[in-house]
A and B are shown apart, each in its own frame.
Chain A
């Protein structure tokens, strides 16, 4: 496992960097928020990403993808996160593409993967049911009925749930709330009757939804992977998702840090640049070190995913924890070091704080993953 980018990965990174700077600077995100955009991402920007082949990065060539790597995807997410670029890339290009390609049967792959690659559909992964992430607590029930199942219950905080065409839903087919066994994943078309989708207004102005299932009928052929194997499968998909969101959070943190350092070099008080104050210098230096640790953690987790390492789970929890704590620190310090303008809506730095706190919650916060890391490490 080499913790440096290959030439191809660097090329992707440069492409993404230019794309984010030219096509979706932070003003683009601000505009979506200010105009109360119904899905909070831009279809033109997404179709340009599709043209660049990004949703197909984890999809094999036979379905039109490039079969590249999660590391490649990670650097794109990281760069796009620097300008807070909203897009379905995480929920569709990572979660949907990985889930269906890894666990789908041939029919499912043929049906969905080419349409993910060409931008025809977007996906969302529905796991959480309460305010704190915990897949074992799944209660949404799927009861056997003739050739299919009837689903009842509610999923909350579904990333891109307000725009997705296809849902990947974790359900309970047996056992008790609290067991990771007895769970089954379903692919559910958004047009199925009995679905009630309510868009959420979250602090970071991104696309989330709560989704209620009222006697939703689904054929057994829409089970993803084996029946009752959903707990394990979901954990694997989630681990890939955690690493991907950690890449985004690294990009968020790098950008907020860079903006703050620039500000320390421009802003004068008491007749001197505030960056000359040691009280701020040492805190800035500590953030630099935390960012370095985060880069290594994210990179190691990306590589572990690509190499299917048996350290994948532990490194996923490591990356999500470290990225979460670093972004938490940097987003707070960024505001404080900007002083008064830091708490104004007119200035962009506050967006990073809001994004930080929501992203920290996605698929388990640092506390959740610190505990999981201990479990996986045998203490």
Chain B
């Protein structure tokens, strides 16, 4: 037996013994399902969620390729593939959702000091600390580098003052990774640093943001004379923009994977919605105007799906195509929701109360939420700028 076969056998045994019944195929549907983000204040409706997280975290298998010295699994790519396959076979749940895993840990590994890696990465892997992202500010959206949250040198510490916005789950997070201004405003990219801040520090406060669609995970985060140890600076002083960009790449990758998966696997089917609300004749949507618009849209989405497949077959291309996927993924999603709302008639704008079905009320909220898709993670217009400059080589003004 070669090493990989042995690894597969051991992994299968371990999963068999350690993956709780409610965390895999055949789970009792009456047991409540947790969305596990970990952290100091995590609460679990199902105690097995916590058991599963602890066991996987102990093995380092929430970040299986990270070296063991930082609490990771220390696995090779081949071994990770086997681990994923074995987890897939038994339908094992992902034990942990985490901005720490998706965004922070990869840049810590690249830019953090040895001490910082050893301090933070193991806690990310075990789900002990929940992180949030402090990037956007009220005055700095698409032009992120103009940010003005200030960190002043006051000796042993930095004194942080300012405000972040669109910090997802800031009200639930333990720590925040933030971009702060430590240098001059001009040139704007050169005065930015990457700082880690404990949300329990005096002067940090958060306030949830209600969206047009209702409740949301987004928050505003305020820093009012917050003292942060200088040892929490990642990388060089005033060199945070490089780290920020790297992290954004990890974020975009995550958003486009997540967004596409959400869109493709969406339970709402525009054809059945149209047939339900507009009627059906010989298997066709009765209203010809809606039918043709829906067909046009379906053709576009089909062509987009084939383009994703082609990019995959070509072995994954440069970041320019990532801009196209972000642009079309989100714009198509918006269009699909507009069509579903239109085809639903007044039910498509139902908001609350018992007169409407949950499906319709949820669709209204989902439709409103899609309006943010083409803004968050780089607006559609920013994606078009990237394509015109980087792909087409059109000149700057």
Contact = CB atoms under 8 A, between A and B. Distances in A.
Interface of A: 2-4, 261, 264-265, 272-273, 275-278, 280-282, 284-286, 288-289, 292-297, 299-300, 318, 321-322, 367, 370-371, 373-375, 377-379
20 contacts: A3-B314, A261-B394, A265-B394, A265-B395, A272-B395, A276-B395, A276-B396, A282-B384, A282-B385, A285-B384, A285-B392, A288-B324, A288-B392, A293-B304, A299-B310, A370-B292, A377-B271, A379-B271, A379-B291, A379-B294
Nearest to A4: B313
B381 interface: yes
B278 to A, nearest CB: 11
Nearest to A378: B283
B314 A297 contact: no
A278 B294 CA distance: 31
B295 interface: yes
5 closest Cβ pairs, A-B complex: A281-B388, A285-B387, A3-B310, A374-B295, A296-B306
A275 B395 contact: yes
Contact of A289 (B285, B299, B327, B396): B327
Contacts of B306: 3, 293, 296-297, 299-300
A276 B397 contact: yes
B390 to A, nearest CB: 10
Interface in B257-273: 271
A276 B394 CA distance: 6
Contact of A377 (B296, B298, B387): B298
B68 interface: no
Interface in B298-351: 298-300, 302-304, 306-307, 309-310, 313-314, 321, 324, 327-328
B303 A288 contact: no
A281 B292 contact: no
Given A3-B309, A3-B314, A322-B303, 7 more contacts: A4-B314, A296-B303, A370-B296, A371-B292, A374-B285, A377-B271, A378-B271
Contacts of A367: 292
Chain B interface size range: 35 or more
B394 A264 contact: yes
Nearest to A293: B303
Given A3-B310, A318-B302, A379-B283, A284 B392 contact: yes
Interface of B: 271, 274-275, 283-285, 291-292, 294-296, 298-300, 302-304, 306-307, 309-310, 313-314, 321, 324, 327-328, 381, 383-385, 387-389, 391-397
Given A3-B306, A4-B310, A318-B303, A379 B275 contact: yes
B381 A282 contact: yes
A173 B250 CA distance: 64
A288 B391 contact: yes
B302 A374 contact: no
B284 A297 contact: no
A296 B291 CA distance: 24
Contacts of B299: 318, 321-322, 370, 373
Given A289-B328, A296-B309, A265 B303 contact: no
B388 A295 contact: no
Contacts of A281: 384-385, 388-389, 392, 394
B395 A273 contact: yes
Given A3-B313, A282-B381, A297-B303, A371 B388 contact: no
Contacts of A300: 306, 309-310
Contacts of B292: 367, 370-371, 374
A379 B283 CA distance: 6
Binding site secondary structure of chain A: helix
Contact of A272 (B296, B314, B384, B397): B397
B289 to A, nearest CB: 12
Contacts of B303: 293-294, 296-297, 318, 322
Contacts of B395: 265, 272-273, 275-276
Nearest to B288: A371
Most A-side CB within 10 Å, residue of B275, B304, B395: B395
Nearest to B284: A379
Contacts of A261: 392, 394
Q: Which interface residue of A4, A272, A281, A375 has the most chain B CB atoms within 10 A?
A: A281
Contact of B284 (A289, A292, A299, A374): A374
Nearest to A264: B394
A374 B310 contact: no
A284 B395 CA distance: 12
Nearest to B271: A379
Nearest to B397: A276
B265 to A, nearest CB: 19
B295 A371 contact: yes
A186 B243 CA distance: 70
Contacts of A375: 284
Nearest to A300: B306
Contacts of B291: 374, 379
Contacts of B385: 278, 281-282, 285
A300 B311 CA distance: 13
B387 A265 contact: no
B291 to A, nearest CB: 6
A292 B302 contact: no
Contacts of A4: 310, 313-314
B3 to A, nearest CB: 32
A295 B395 CA distance: 26
Contacts of B275: 379
Contacts of B392: 261, 281, 284-285, 288
B274 to A, nearest CB: 7
Nearest to B275: A379
Contacts of B271: 377-379
B333 to A, nearest CB: 15
A282 B388 contact: yes
A374 B394 contact: no
A293 B304 CA distance: 6
A314 B309 CA distance: 17
A254 B283 CA distance: 38
Nearest to A317: B299
A265 B283 CA distance: 51
A275 B393 CA distance: 9
A296 B295 contact: no
Contacts of B283: 378-379
A374 B307 contact: no
A146 to B, nearest CB: 42
A265 B393 contact: yes
A188 to B, nearest CB: 36
A294 B304 CA distance: 9
A69 B291 CA distance: 35
Nearest to B328: A289
A299 B387 CA distance: 23
From A273, A292, A299, A321, name the one whose CB has the most chain B CB atoms within 10 angstroms: A292
